[in-house]
C-alpha cells in the first residue's frame, strides 16, 4: 500500500499539472423539515474533493440518488454549496466564503455533530436494552445462582452503559466545545487582527501626522502668503483702474462742458445775426446748426456714460480673472502639497489596511459576483433531459443564441446569426433547421441543440449531466461521438456524469464512483475496470452486460441486498456497510477515508486501512479475484 496523506487540501491527482478545475471538500446539504421546528440535513454531496486536468474527461458514476447531478449543479453554482471550494483556473468561485457564511456552516457542523451524538447515544442504549432483554428471555429457567450471575451481569452492563454513555457525552461535548471554541477563536482572531491593524495604523498615523502635518502646514501657509500677495497686487491694479476711469470721466466731463459752452456761444452769436439780417436762409442754417449741436451733445453724453462704465468693468473684471486664477493655482498647489506629503501617503495606507482587514474578515460580494460571471463564461452545462431543457416557445436559433445575448457576445445581427449557424454545423445540424422549434426535432437532435447552446460562450469546461440517458442506444453513440469530436477540435474538458458504466468508460480518462454523496473510488479508466478495489465498484462492474453469452455465464454477478439508504439517515461508519458483502464489525463504527492505494488509484474502504490486521491478505485476495475477472473484462474492453 502506498503511503498517502489525503487531507482536506490534498485531493486526488497530486502532480502539479495543468489543473483547470479543483473541487475541495464540497458539501451540499439540504435542510429537510422532519417535524415541528425540526430540520435534518440531507447530505446530497458530502465532502467531495477532486481535480480535473485541462483537456481531460472525468466520468462520475453511481446509482440514482448518489448525488452525481447535485455535484454537477453545485459546481456550476445552480445550487449554492453548503461549504467547500470550487477553484476554476486558480480562481475560487465559491460564493459563500464570507465570515457570516463560515459561521453558518460551522453552526451547521455543530448541529450535525449534536445530531450524530444523540443518534449514537440512542443506538448504544437500544443495543444495551436489546442485550438485556435477550439475556433475560434466554435465562428464565436458570438456577438462582445463575440468576444471581445474571443480575450481576446486568448491573455490570448497566454500569458499562452508564460509563459508555458518560464517555460518549463527554467525548461529544468536548468536540462541541472544541468546535465552538475554534469558531470563536477564528472570529476573535479576525476581529482582533482588524482592531490591531487599525490601532497600529492610528499610532503610526498619529506619530507621523504631527511631523508631516506641520510640514504641510508650513507649505500651505507659504502658498497662502503667495496667494495674498497676488490678490493684493490685483486689488491695487483694480483700484488704479478705477481711479483712472474716474480721472477719464472728469476729463470727459470737462470736454463735454466745453462743448456745451461753445454751443451756447455759437447759438447766441447766430441768434444775434438772425435778429439783424432777418434772412430766411440764415434762419434755416441756424436751426440746422442748433440741431447738429444738440445731437452732438446727446451722443457725447451717452458716450461719456458708457466709457466710464466700460473703464470700471475692465478694471473689475481684470481683478476677478486674476483672483480666480490665483485661487485655482492655490488650490492645485495645496492639493499637490498634501498629496506629496507623508500625511496623505498615510491616508492611502489607512485605506489599504482597512481594505485588507475587510477582505480578511469578509470576501467582497461584488468580486464574488465578478468571479462567478467569469466562471460562467468559461463553463457550461448540458442537461440530462433534452425534452425539458429547451424552451418550446423559442426557435432553435434563439435557443442557441441565448447565451450570446446574455453575455453580449456579438455586435450585429449578422454576426449573431453566423455564430449560431457555425455552432449548428459543429454539432451536425443543418442551417435550414434554425427557424424550427424544439418539438420538431428527434431526441438526439434536441440533445445536439443543447450541446450547441453549451458551446455558444466558447467554454473551456463542460459539465455533461447524463447527456445520453434519455436517448436510445444508436443515438447515444452519435451524441457520445459528437462529444469526443468536439473535445478533440476545441480542447474541451468534461465532467461526464452518467450511470451507464460502458458509456463513461468510452469517453472518460478517469472515473469517480459515488455512493451516498461521497466519492468511494477514483482511478484511471482502465485501472478501475481492470482492478476495482471498492466492493461497491466491484458490484457495479459485475452488473455490466456482456455481449458474449459464454462469458456472461462465467461472470460472477454480485447482487447487493437492500436499497440505497436515505441520505437523510446515512448509516454510521462506512455508508456502504448495510449492503457491503465484505463488511466487518469495524465497518459500522469507523468512517473510511479516501486513500491512495496504488498510484493514482484512490479508495475509501477500511479493508485497505493500515490499521486492519488482515490488510495485506485482503488486498491480495481482492487482487487475485480481480485477475480472475480480468479475462472477462478484456472482452468488454475489446467490445
Ligand atoms: S469499509 Fe467495510 S463496509 Fe465499507 S466498503 Fe469497505 S468493507 Fe465494505
Burial of residue 121, with CB atoms counted within 10 A of its CB: 0-12 exposed, 13-18 middle, 19 or more buried: middle
**What pLDDT score was predicted for residue 615?**
47
For ligand 1, is residue 576 a contact (CB within 6 Å)?
yes
**What pLDDT score was predicted for residue 323?**
86
Residue nearest to atom 7 of ligand 1 (CA): 583
- Domain membership of residue 239 (yes or no) is yes
Ligand 1 centre to CA of 538 (Å) is: 12
Nearest to 456 by CA among 494, 433, 426: 426
Ligand 1 atom nearest 584 alpha carbon: 2
Ligand 1 centre to CA of 289 (Å) is: 132
- Domain membership of residue 607 (yes or no) is no
How many whole angstroms separate alpha carbon 80 and alpha carbon 96?
A: 8
How many whole angstroms separate alpha carbon 223 and alpha carbon 335?
A: 11
Ligand 1 centre to CA of 26 (Å) is: 23
- Domain membership of residue 267 (yes or no) is yes
For ligand 1, is residue 575 a contact (CB within 6 Å)?
no
Q: Which residues does 499 contact at the CB level (< 8 Å), separation at least 6?
A: 61, 62, 63, 64, 68, 466, 469
- Domain membership of residue 64 (yes or no) is no
How many whole angstroms separate alpha carbon 631 and alpha carbon 637?
A: 10
Cα four-point dihedral sign 365, 371, 377, 383: negative
**What pLDDT score was predicted for residue 9?**
40
Angle at 145 between CA 143 and CA 148, to 5 degrees: 110
How many structural domains comprise the chain?
A: 1
Residue carrying C-alpha cell 429537510: 32
Nearest to 2 by CA among 51, 53, 12, 518: 12
- Domain membership of residue 422 (yes or no) is no
Q: Which three cell numbers stand for residue 509?
A: 480518462
* Residues facing 177 on adjacent strands: none
For ligand 1, is residue 379 a contact (CB within 6 Å)?
no
How many whole angstroms separate alpha carbon 216 and alpha carbon 569?
A: 70
**What pLDDT score was predicted for residue 234?**
87
pLDDT tens digits for range 153-166: 667 767 776 777 67
Ligand 1 atom nearest 582 alpha carbon: 7
**What pLDDT score was predicted for residue 290?**
76
Q: How many CB atoms lie within 10 A of CB 162?
A: 11
**What pLDDT score was predicted for residue 8?**
36
- Domain membership of residue 301 (yes or no) is yes
Chain centre to alpha carbon of residue 203:
36
Strands 510-515 and 57-61: parallel
For ligand 1, is residue 564 a contact (CB within 6 Å)?
no
Ligand 1 centre to CA of 279 (Å) is: 147
Q: Which three cell numbers stand for residue 28?
A: 451540499
Q: Which three cell numbers stand for residue 266?
A: 455759437
pTM of this structure: 0.55
Mark the ranges of the chain whose per-residue pLDDT is less than 50: 1-15, 97, 99, 343, 346, 361, 363-365, 611-613, 615-616, 627, 631-639
Buried b (16+ CB within 10 A) or exposed e, 561-589: eeebbebeebebbbbbbbbbebbbebbee
**What pLDDT score was predicted for residue 631?**
47
- Domain membership of residue 621 (yes or no) is no
Nearest to 342 by CA among 158, 254, 214: 214
Q: Do residues 462 and 21 make contact, with C-beta atoms less than 8 angstroms apart?
A: no
Q: Do residues 590 and 571 make contact, with C-beta atoms less than 8 angstroms apart?
A: no
- Domain membership of residue 599 (yes or no) is no
**Domain enclosing residue 328, as ranges:** 207-341
Q: Do residues 73 and 59 make contact, with C-beta atoms less than 8 angstroms apart?
A: no
Ligand 1 centre to CA of 74 (Å) is: 27
Residue carrying C-alpha cell 470576501: 363
Residue carrying C-alpha cell 480666480: 324
**What pLDDT score was predicted for residue 64?**
85
**What pLDDT score was predicted for residue 201?**
62
Buried b (16+ CB within 10 A) or exposed e, 125-155: eeebeeebeeeeeeeeeeeeeeeeebeeeee
Ligand 1 centre to CA of 72 (Å) is: 26
**What pLDDT score was predicted for residue 509?**
94
Nearest to 45 by CA among 76, 18, 69, 12: 69
**What pLDDT score was predicted for residue 638?**
45
Residue nearest to atom 3 of ligand 1 (CA): 577
How many whole angstroms separate alpha carbon 607 and alpha carbon 614?
A: 8
For ligand 1, is residue 535 a contact (CB within 6 Å)?
yes
How many whole angstroms separate alpha carbon 290 and alpha carbon 455?
A: 99
Amino acid at each position: 500500500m502506498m503511503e498517502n496523506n489525503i487531507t482536506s487540501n490534498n485531493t486526488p491527482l497530486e502532480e502539479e499539472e495543468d489543473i483547470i478545475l479543483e473541487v475541495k471538500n464540497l458539501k451540499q446539504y439540504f435542510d429537510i423539515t422532519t417535524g415541528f421546528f425540526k430540520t435534518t440535513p440531507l447530505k446530497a454531496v458530502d465532502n467531495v474533493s477532486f481535480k480535473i486536468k485541462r483537456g481531460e474527461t472525468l466520468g462520475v458514476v453511481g446509482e440514482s440518488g448518489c448525488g452525481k447531478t447535485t455535484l454537477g449543479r453545485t459546481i456550476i453554482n445552480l445550487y449554492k454549496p453548503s461549504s467547500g471550494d470550487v477553484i476554476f483556473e486558480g480562481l475560487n468561485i465559491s460564493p459563500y466564503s464570507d465570515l457570516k457564511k463560515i459561521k453558518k456552516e460551522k453552526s451547521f457542523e455543530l448541529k450535525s455533530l449534536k445530531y450524530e451524538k444523540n443518534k449514537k447515544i440512542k443506538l448504544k442504549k437500544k443495543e444495551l436494552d436489546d442485550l438485556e432483554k435477550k439475556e433475560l428471555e434466554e435465562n428464565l429457567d436458570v438456577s438462582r445462582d445463575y440468576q444471581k450471575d445474571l443480575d450481576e451481569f446486568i448491573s455490570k452492563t448497566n454500569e458499562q452503559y452508564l460509563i459508555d454513555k458518560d464517555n460518549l457525552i463527554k467525548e461529544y461535548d468536548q468536540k462541541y466545545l472544541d468546535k465552538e471554541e475554534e469558531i470563536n477563536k477564528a472570529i476573535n482572531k479576525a476581529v482582533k487582527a482588524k482592531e490591531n491593524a487599525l490601532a497600529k495604523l492610528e499610532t503610526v498615523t498619529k506619530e507621523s501626522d504631527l511631523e508631516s502635518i506641520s510640514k504641510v502646514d508650513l507649505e500651505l501657509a507659504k502658498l497662502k502668503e503667495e496667494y495674498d500677495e497676488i490678490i493684493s497686487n490685483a486689488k491695487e491694479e483694480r483700484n488704479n483702474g478705477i481711479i483712472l476711469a474716474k480721472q477719464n470721466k472728469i476729463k470727459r466731463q470737462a470736454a463735454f462742458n466745453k462743448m456745451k459752452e461753445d454751443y451756447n456761444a455759437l447759438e447766441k452769436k447766430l441768434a444775434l445775426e438772425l435778429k439783424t439780417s432777418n434772412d430766411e436762409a440764415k434762419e434755416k442754417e441756424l436751426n440746422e446748426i442748433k440741431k447738429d449741436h444738440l445731437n452732438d451733445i446727446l451722443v457725447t453724453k451717452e458716450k461719456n456714460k458708457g466709457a466710464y462704465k466700460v473703464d470700471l468693468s475692465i478694471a473689475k473684471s481684470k481683478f476677478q480673472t486674476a483672483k480666480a486664477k490665483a485661487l485655482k493655482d492655490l488650490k492645485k498647489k495645496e492639493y499637490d502639497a498634501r498629496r506629496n506629503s507623508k500625511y496623505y501617503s498615510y491616508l492611502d495606507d489607512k485605506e489599504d489596511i482597512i481594505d485588507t482587514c475587510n477582505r480578511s474578515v469578509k470576501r467582497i460580494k461584488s468580486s464574488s459576483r465578478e468571479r462567478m460571471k467569469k466562471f460562467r463564461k468559461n463553463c457550461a452545462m448540458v442537461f440530462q433531459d433534452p425534452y425539458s431543457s429547451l424552451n418550446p416557445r423559442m426557435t432553435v436559433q434563439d435557443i442557441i443564441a441565448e447565451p450570446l445575448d446574455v453575455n453580449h457576445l456579438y455586435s450585429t445581427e449578422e454576426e449573431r446569426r453566423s455564430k449560431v449557424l457555425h455552432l449548428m454545423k459543429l454539432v451536425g445540424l443543418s442551417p435550414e433547421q434554425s427557424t424550427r422549434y424544439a418539438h420538431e426535432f428527434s431526441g438526439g437532435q434536441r440533445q445536439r441543440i443543447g450541446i450547441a447552446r453549451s458551446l455558444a460562450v466558447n467554454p473551456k469546461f463542460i459539465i455533461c449531466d447524463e447527456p445520453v440517458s434519455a436517448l436510445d442506444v444508436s443515438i447515444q453513440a452519435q451524441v457520445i461521438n459528437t462529444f469526443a469530436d468536439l473535445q478533440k477540435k476545441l480542447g474541451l474538458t468534461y465532467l461526464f456524469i452518467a450511470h451507464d458504466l460502458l458509456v463513461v468508460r468510452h469517453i472518460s480518462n478517469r472515473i469517480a464512483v459515488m455512493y451516498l454523496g461521497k466519492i468511494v473510488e477514483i482511478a484511471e479508466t482502465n485501472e478501475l475496470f481492470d482492478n476495482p478495489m471498492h466492493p461497491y465498484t466491484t458490484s457495479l462492474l459485475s452488473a455490466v452486460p456482456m455481449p458474449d453469452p459464454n462469458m456472461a455465464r462465467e461472470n460472477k454477478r454480485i447482487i447487493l441486498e437492500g436499497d440505497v439508504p436515505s441520505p437523510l439517515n446515512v448509516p454510521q461508519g462506512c455508508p456502504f456497510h448495510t449492503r457491503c458483502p465484505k463488511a466487518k464489525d469495524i465497518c459500522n463504527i469507523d468512517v473510511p477515508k479516501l486513500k491512495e492505494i496504488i498510484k493514482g488509484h484512490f479508495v475509501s474502504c477500511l479493508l485497505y486501512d493500515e490499521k486492519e490486521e488482515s490488510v495485506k491478505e485482503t488486498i491480495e485476495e481482492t487482487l487475485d479475484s480481480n485477475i480472475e475477472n480480468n479475462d472477462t473484462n478484456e472482452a468488454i474492453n475489446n467490445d
